[in-house]
Structures are given as structure tokens and as C-alpha cells.
């Protein structure tokens, strides 16, 4: 493939495994690194420890170009692009714990052969600016920094990666933006290129918008219950208005999952 690259992915969790497998499917050569021996052992034995439709087959199909390792140096050796897909859980104050992200940045300090560092983990606005400064201080001023947030929904992560509504590329310079855009050649969706802080904000803003729609449906359900109106019919009818749209208007238990609560708290903390 003309634009095939060598890629190191940090984090073999939900986002890292899907990113690694999809990049291999696109023709790139990928090394995925995790710190959990059990997880890496399973992956090396050809088993995928999470269930996502299509992920197992894709991993198997691309095994020539997709490998798993515990060793950061091994993953980065010869890589042109490094992806950060580690977890960023909430701290007590609601902000994101970035210790794992910084551990990866530290592990890359000698990697002067890198062309770009891409952060897919969800991070507070301003993180990219701080990582950019750390790279510059480590003599890696030539390594482009890119914020490339993930908008996937669990259960359709592979299909969302290959057919996204949009690919958000927040880059520190135009060459890095072009590199990551080219890396996605074959993905069926438009790239939206912007500055790093705007890309970081887009991720939090998208989850805030979705969480707000769920919250609205639940608030309306309470009023419907008190007034004898039928929430199902109300949300069906308002969802037919193209300015509102039908998605994320199902009244129920409220929002949960791995991202909405923590990303809402992270936005609030900002």
C-alpha cells in the first residue's frame, strides 16, 4: 500500500484494540502494547478479550500486520506514529486522571524517529498543549501532536471506526494533520481538521450534547407522568423534527456507561 505506515498503539483495551485492528485492516503495520501480562498473553495466543462485532475476525485476518507486546520499546521500535489509547478514569474532583497518558509520553521520550503522537484517550482541554511542551522540552519538536478523539458506541466500534460520522483531527501543524488524514485512507467518513484544543473540546461537547438529550427525555418523562401525557409518543413526535432528531431521546434510567458520567464531570470541572 502506498501510504502504509508503522504504528505503535498504547493500550489494548476497548479503543486500542479496535484502533489497532482497524489500522492493520487499512494496510498499516501495527504493534499494540499493554501493561497487563494476562491481556497481552491472550492476544498473542490469538484470543480477543473483549467482544465487539467483527473485531475477532479482523484481528485474525490481519495477523501478519498486527502484533501485541508488553514492552514499550519493542512497540515503538521503527514506528512512525504512536497512538495513546490508555484509560483516563475520573479523579475524586471529577477531572480525568492522566497518569497513564503521561506514562506513555515519558516512554516515548527517546523516540526521535516518530513523525506524530496521536492521543485518542479522552482528555481535558489543554492536555495537548502540555504534552506538546513536554515533547518540545525532550527534543521532539519535530514530532507532530494530534488529538484524534473517538466517538464510538460500544457494540458497533469496528463499524464506527470504518464508517464514522466524522474523523476529528486536531493537529499542532499541517504536516501532522495530513499524515493522520492519510493514515485513514480507506475509512468511509469526512475528516474535520482543527486545532488541538478544539478537537479535545469536540469530544467533551459531543458527549455533553448526547447526555443532555437523554436528560431532557427523562425530565420530560417526569412531567408526562404527572400530566397524563405519553412520553413515548411525545419523544417520537419531537424526534421527527429534523432540528431535534430521533436519537438519544429514549426516556429510561438516565445515562450511565463508561463515558457519559466521567466526561460530563470532566467538562464541569473545566
The verdict on 209 binding ligand NAD (CB under 6 A) reads no
224 is catalytic: no
Among 139, 252, 258, 270, binds ligand NAD (CB under 6 A): 258
Per DSSP, the three-state class of 125 is coil
The catalytic position among 22, 85, 224, 259 is 259
Per-position x/- string for 20-49, each x denoting binding to ligand NAD as judged by CB under 6 A, each - no binding? -------------xxxx--x----------
28/50 Cα distance (integer angstroms): 22
Query: For ligand NAD, which is the closer residue by CB, 174 or 257?
Result: 257
Per DSSP, the three-state class of 219 is helix
Query: For ligand NAD, which is the closer residue by CB, 55 or 231?
Result: 55
What is the chain's length? 270
In whole angstroms, the minimum distance from the beta carbon of 118 to ligand NAD comes to 12
Query: Per CB under 6 A, which of residues 91..150 are in contact with ligand NAD?
Result: 100, 103-104, 120-122, 150
Among 5, 7, 11, 179, binds ligand NAD (CB under 6 A): 11
Q: How many residues bind ligand NAD (CB under 6 A)?
A: 27
Query: Per CB under 6 A, which of residues 144..183 are in contact with ligand NAD?
Result: 150, 152, 154
Per DSSP, the three-state class of 153 is coil
Query: For ligand NAD, which is the closer residue by CB, 14 or 255?
Result: 14
Retrieve residue 131's grid coordinates. 504534552
CB 125, CB 150: distance < 8 Å: no
The verdict on 14 binding ligand NAD (CB under 6 A) reads yes
- Find all residues with CB under 8 Å of 119, minimum gap 6, and list them: 83, 84, 101, 127, 128, 131, 145, 146, 147, 148
The verdict on 13 binding ligand NAD (CB under 6 A) reads yes
Among 85, 135, 176, 211, binds ligand NAD (CB under 6 A): 85
HEC readout, 30-86: EEEECCCHHHHHHHHCCCCCCCCCCHHHHHHHCCCCEEEECCHHHHHCCCCEEEECC
Task: Give one word for 185, left, alpha or beta, with left for phi > 0 and alpha for psi -120 to 50.
Answer: beta
87/259 Cα distance (integer angstroms): 11
Query: For ligand NAD, which is the closer residue by CB, 221 or 266?
Result: 266
- Which residues of this chain interact with ligand NAD, rule CB under 6 A? 10-16, 33-36, 39, 85-88, 100, 103-104, 120-122, 150, 152, 154, 258-259
Question: Which amino acids are annotated catalytic?
Answer: 259
Amino acid at each position: 500500500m502506498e501510504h502504509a505506515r508503522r504504528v505503535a498503539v498504547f493500550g489494548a483495551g476497548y479503543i486500542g484494540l479496535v484502533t489497532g485492528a482497524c489500522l492493520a485492516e487499512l494496510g498499516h503495520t501495527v504493534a499494540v502494547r499493554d501493561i497487563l501480562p494476562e491481556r497481552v498473553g491472550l492476544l498473542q495466543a490469538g484470543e480477543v478479550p473483549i467482544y465487539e462485532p467483527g473485531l475477532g475476525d479482523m484481528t485474525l485476518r490481519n495477523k501478519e500486520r498486527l502484533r501485541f507486546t508488553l514492552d514499550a520499546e519493542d512497540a515503538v521500535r521503527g514506528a512512525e506514529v504512536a497512538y495513546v489509547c490508555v484509560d483516563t478514569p475520573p479523579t475524586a474532583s471529577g477531572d480525568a486522571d492522566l497518569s497513564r497518558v503521561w506514562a506513555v509520553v515519558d516512554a516515548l521520550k527517546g523516540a526521535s524517529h516518530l513523525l506524530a503522537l496521536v492521543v485518542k484517550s479522552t482528555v481535558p482541554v489543554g492536555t495537548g498543549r502540555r504534552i506538546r511542551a513536554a515533547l518540545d522540552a525532550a527534543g521532539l519538536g519535530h514530532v507532530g501532536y494530534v488529538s484524534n478523539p473517538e466517538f464510538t458506541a460500544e457494540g458497533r466500534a469496528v463499524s464506527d471506526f470504518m464508517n464514522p460520522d466524522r474523523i476529528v483531527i486536531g493537529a499542532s501543524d499541517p504536516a501532522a494533520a495530513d499524515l493522520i488524514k492519510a493514515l485513514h485512507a480507506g475509512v468511509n467518513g469526512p475528516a474535520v481538521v482543527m486545532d488541538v484544543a478544539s478537537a479535545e473540546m469536540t469530544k467533551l461537547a459531543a458527549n455533553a450534547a448526547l447526555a443532555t438529550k437523554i436528560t431532557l427525555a427523562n425530565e420530560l418523562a417526569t412531567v408526562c407522568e404527572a400530566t397524563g401525557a405519553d412520553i413515548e409518543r411525545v419523544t417520537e413526535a419531537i424526534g421527527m423534527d429534523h432540528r431535534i432528531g430521533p436519537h438519544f431521546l429514549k426516556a429510561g434510567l438516565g445515562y450511565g456507561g463508561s463515558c457519559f458520567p466521567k466526561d460530563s464531570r470532566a467538562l464541569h470541572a473545566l
